């Protein structure tokens, strides 16, 4: 059974996100983006008020967090359906991972849809990875992580690195990755009511914003259909209450088929990317510690 704090968090999610309908279109999306920097209860739970060290990579705004003396680096790609999310919304989570694993972390504000649809986000992720290499980071000292759409983006980035003959990072952590924009998983229907965060009626709009006229079965858009051969060791964490549950479990099944080292952690009674609530929910804190330990065990020392 979920902790009392987890149950409170799920209640807040259902009231402030799932059942708070702003309408459709870009104006409604901009209202969601504006709320990310607001003073709501949810914002106070997940957002850190301690900025890191800002930098610019080409035209990409980025931020360093964590132990800047560390040689090992975490590149983090935030979630938000490719249409919202930012350094601000994920700084606290990335800082906590870095503190637990003894890493420095680089978070980027990749370009968002619909203003910048596919493949803009992937281009920015690859540019950030190239920046790390160009500024002296050894790939054996780089790990990658992402949540939700950021998890899918991390998988797309690793596909790009392979096709461009670039070295992969040493390991990857994926929190509730969005891997199937064709929406073929049964959990999109079976867990629609159980999920306290994601309103399945809004997903098609995000897909339209991001994909425009692209084929959603493109492995760079839906990494569930990618060849994962040669990918680095991966940890996938997912909660049982998620409509994206099958996105995670089917990805793990595919990885095992090609003998990609992969570990799946299923968190009972937890919502989508519950790790964001690590400051409030004990299960979230435990998941973050597990992710940090995985990265620490796989990165070169």
d(CA 188, CA 193): 10
Catalytic residue from among 95, 137, 188, 242: 242
Residue 250 main-chain phi, psi, to 5 deg? -70, -35
Alpha helices in the chain (DSSP H): 4-13, 25-35, 41-46, 87-101, 120-134, 149-163, 187-190, 203-211, 245-257, 282-298
For Cα atoms 121, 81, 168, give the angle at the middle one, nearest 5 degrees. Answer: 45
Catalytic residue from among 92, 95, 137, 148: 148
DSSP state string for 151-180: HHHHHHHHHHHHHTT-PPPS-EEEES----
Q: Are strands 142-147 and 73-77 parallel, antiparallel or unpaired?
A: parallel
Residue 242 is a catalytic residue: yes
Beta bridge partners of 237: 175, 265
d(CA 75, CA 169): 9
Alpha helices in 36-119 (DSSP H): 41-46, 87-101
Instruction: Using DSSP, state whether 231 is helix, strand or coil.
Output: coil
DSSP 233: P
Catalytic residue from among 272, 274, 278, 298: 272
Residue 90 is a catalytic residue: no
- Using an 8 Å Cβ cutoff, are 122 and 156 in contact? yes
- Using an 8 Å Cβ cutoff, are 273 and 287 in contact? no
Residue 272 is a catalytic residue: yes
Annotated catalytic residues are: 148, 242, 272
């Amino acid at each position: 059974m979920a902790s009392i704090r987890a149950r409170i968090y799920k209640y807040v999610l259902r009231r402030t996100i799932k059942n708070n309908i702003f309408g459709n279109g870009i104006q409604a999306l901009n209202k969601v983006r504006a709320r990310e920097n607001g003073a709501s209860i949810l914002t106070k739970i997940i957002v850190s008020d301690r900025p890191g060290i800002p930098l610019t990579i080409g035209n990409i705004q980025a931020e360093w967090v964590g132990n800047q003396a560390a040689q090992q680096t975490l590149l983090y790609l935030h979630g938000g359906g490719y249409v919202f999310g930012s350094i601000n919304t994920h700084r606290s989570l990335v800082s906590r991972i870095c503190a637990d694993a003894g890493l420095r972390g680089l978070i980027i504000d990749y370009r968002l849809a619909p203003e910048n649809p596919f493949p803009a986000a992937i281009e920015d992720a690859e540019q950030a990875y190239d920046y790390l290499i160009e500024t002296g980071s050894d790939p054996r000292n780089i790990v990658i992580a992402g949540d939700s759409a950021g998890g899918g983006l991390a998988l797309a980035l690793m596909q790009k690195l392979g096709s461009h003959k670039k070295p992969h990072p040493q390991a990857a952590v994926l929190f509730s990755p969005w891997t199937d924009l064709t929406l073929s998983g049964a959990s999109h229907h079976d867990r629609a009511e159980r999920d306290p965060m994601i309103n399945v009626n809004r997903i098609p709009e995000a897909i339209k914003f991001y994909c425009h006229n692209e084929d959603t079965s493109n492995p760079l858009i839906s990494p569930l259909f990618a060849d994962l051969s040669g990918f680095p060791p991966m940890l996938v964490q997912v909660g049982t209450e998620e409509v994206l549950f099958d996105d995670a479990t089917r990805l793990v099944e595919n990885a095992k088929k090609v003998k990609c080292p992969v570990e799946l952690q299923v968190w009972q009674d937890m919502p989508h990317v519950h790790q964001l609530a690590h400051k409030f929910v004990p299960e979230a804190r435990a998941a973050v510690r597990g992710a940090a330990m995985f990265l620490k065990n796989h990165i070169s020392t």
